[in-house]
Amino acid sequence: MKKNRGRTGRKRRRKHLQSFMNGVDCSHKLEYIKLKKWLKDRGFEDNDIRPAEFWDTGRGLMTTKALQAGELVISLPEKCLLTTGTVLSSCLGEYITKWKPPVSPLIALCTFLIAEKHAGEQSLWKPYLDVLPKTYTCPVCLEEDVVSLLPEPLRKKAQEQRTMVHELYVSSKAFFSSLQPLFAENTETIFNYSALEWAWCTVNTRTVYMKHSQRECFSLEPDVYALAPYLDLLNHSPNVQVKAAFNEQIRSYEIRTDSQCKKYEEVFICYGPHDNQRLLLEYGFVAVDNPHSSVYVSSGWICRLKDTLLRYFSPLDNQKNAKLSILKNHDFLENLTFGWDGPSWRLLTALKLLNLGEDEFNCWKRALLGDVISATNEEQTLNVTEKICLFLIEETQHVLLQIYRLKRDKENLKNHLTLVEALRLEDLKILQKSAEILCNLKMATT
């Protein structure tokens, strides 16, 4: 016992804790050994980056040496990239070139992924396909019961995503059938809806941006995708900056970090300054303490202001409909948010306008510009903003309770429910921070 109390004990404990925080190196696993060999055969030079499992972000890449800002993280030769060029030079090429109306670059990539997965051992891309996720957590893959627990406007976008992928499937069916001469099995079995959903999520969550010139055999949608094996194991952090681009001179896709990274830590890239709703919609995950995140006061909610919230305003406010029209006409009913630094300027301005007294109504233009109209107006606005914030906290807690119950009762939905729970917990943190800020503001102004 005593042994552990000294400097050596502290060191050992720190080391133990550190090893838990770091990822578990997976490079010895057969699938990664095969992938590395496949990449080397295509000119990839191995470096100090290893695939690893991290307790918080799942599978990602770890560095075995400290990285300095500006240093190259990874360089992937063109031969390793999967682009529409790859698809056109495969046996699918002549079918794509013949097909009218032309298919999109996205459908071409999805078709290739499905066909290669079906080819199994015969596929030249097998080592890559073997490390791709088997399932995804983008909203298109979520059950309706889980989607209904998402906050607005994400819920609506999730439904739109589902409709869009379904329509893509229906509109591609005839093209898939045209590929029958290439397969012994019925193409309807190979190119079924769940295969397309998997391929669509693969392209949507894993491609890097790489602009290709427009080809006549494709529809007019931009051809900007490249699947980049191994490099696509890099997870997102909102707190890092990287430079990612195709280097035309050496014909390699390169990623350079602009942030330092310690030895044995996870190397991150930044997928963009996305809030958590966008991360869940596009990539199927949420980032903890995401500085870009905010909680939306949905337009549905603002419309409910008429019935619910207007009770906080004067019930005798004859101008309330006129005020709501002004907000609508000036695009002040969307993008009203609470963030880590409190209510957004847009939300405060909209509420300021709704709080104008009868004799202040003619000041609505100044209110929209953010001018102080009166001390009473300022005070009432803060009161109402706080009430909305507290109401949203209650609503979020209520949904979290529903999620806990569902997690207990529906084992099969557990993973998806955990994802929505993570989003709602982040929202709760933002709202609680906003409530604290509002409370301090109120104290400072009274």
Residues that bind ligand SAM (CB under 6 A): 57-60, 133, 205-206, 232-237, 283-285, 287
Strand partners, 82: 227
Contact 240, 126 (CB under 8 A): no
Is the Cβ of residue 180 or residue 205 nearer to ligand SAM in the bound state?
Answer: 205
Is the Cβ of residue 209 or residue 345 nearer to ligand SAM in the bound state?
Answer: 209
- Tokens representing 339? 């963030």
Residue 41 CA to residue 398 CA, distance in Å, equals 55
The phi and psi torsions of 61 (rounded to 5 degrees) equal -115, 140
Query: 337-339 and 235-236 as β-strands: parallel, antiparallel, unpaired?
Result: unpaired
Phi-psi region of 349 (alpha: psi -120 to 50; beta: other; left: phi over 0): alpha
Task: Name the nearest CA neighbour of 225 among 207, 239, 202, 240.
Answer: 207
Is the Cβ of residue 60 or residue 151 nearer to ligand SAM in the bound state?
Answer: 60
Least distance to ligand SAM from the beta carbon of 55, Å?
A: 11
Task: Name the nearest CA neighbour of 125 among 101, 147, 109.
Answer: 109
Is the Cβ of residue 77 or residue 133 nearer to ligand SAM in the bound state?
Answer: 133
Q: How far is CA 251 from CA 19, 73, 77, 246, 281, in A?
A: 37, 16, 6, 7, 32
Is the Cβ of residue 23 or residue 102 nearer to ligand SAM in the bound state?
Answer: 23
DSSP H/E element including 267: strand 266-269
Is the Cβ of residue 58 or residue 300 nearer to ligand SAM in the bound state?
Answer: 58
Q: What is the DSSP string of 68-115?
A: -TT-EEEEEEGGG-B-HHHHHTSTTHHHHHH-SSPBPHHHHHHHHHHH
Least distance to ligand SAM from the beta carbon of 416, Å?
A: 13
Position of tokens 């890559």? Answer: 128
Least distance to ligand SAM from the beta carbon of 58, Å?
A: 5
Reduced to 3 states, what is the DSSP secondary structure of residue 170?
A: helix
Q: Which amino acid would we find at residue 346?
A: R
Least distance to ligand SAM from the beta carbon of 235, Å?
A: 3
Residue 171 CA to residue 189 CA, distance in Å, equals 16
Residue 280 CA to residue 419 CA, distance in Å, equals 8
Is the Cβ of residue 58 or residue 291 nearer to ligand SAM in the bound state?
Answer: 58
Contact 421, 403 (CB under 8 A): yes
Reduced to 3 states, what is the DSSP secondary structure of residue 417?
A: helix
Is the Cβ of residue 235 or residue 344 nearer to ligand SAM in the bound state?
Answer: 235
Least distance to ligand SAM from the beta carbon of 124, Å?
A: 20
Least distance to ligand SAM from the beta carbon of 302, Å?
A: 32
Least distance to ligand SAM from the beta carbon of 408, Å?
A: 24
Is the Cβ of residue 6 or residue 58 nearer to ligand SAM in the bound state?
Answer: 58
Radius of gyration of the chain (CA): 26
Is the Cβ of residue 26 or residue 310 nearer to ligand SAM in the bound state?
Answer: 26
The phi and psi torsions of 77 (rounded to 5 degrees) equal -60, 150
Is the Cβ of residue 234 or residue 382 nearer to ligand SAM in the bound state?
Answer: 234
Contact 74, 255 (CB under 8 A): yes
Least distance to ligand SAM from the beta carbon of 320, Å?
A: 44
Residue 320 CA to residue 234 CA, distance in Å, equals 51
Least distance to ligand SAM from the beta carbon of 61, Å?
A: 8
Q: From start to end of 107-188, where are the E strands?
A: none
Least distance to ligand SAM from the beta carbon of 233, Å?
A: 5
Is the Cβ of residue 206 or residue 352 nearer to ligand SAM in the bound state?
Answer: 206
Residue 169 CA to residue 268 CA, distance in Å, equals 33
Least distance to ligand SAM from the beta carbon of 432, Å?
A: 22
Least distance to ligand SAM from the beta carbon of 9, Å?
A: 33
- Tokens representing 245? 């681009």
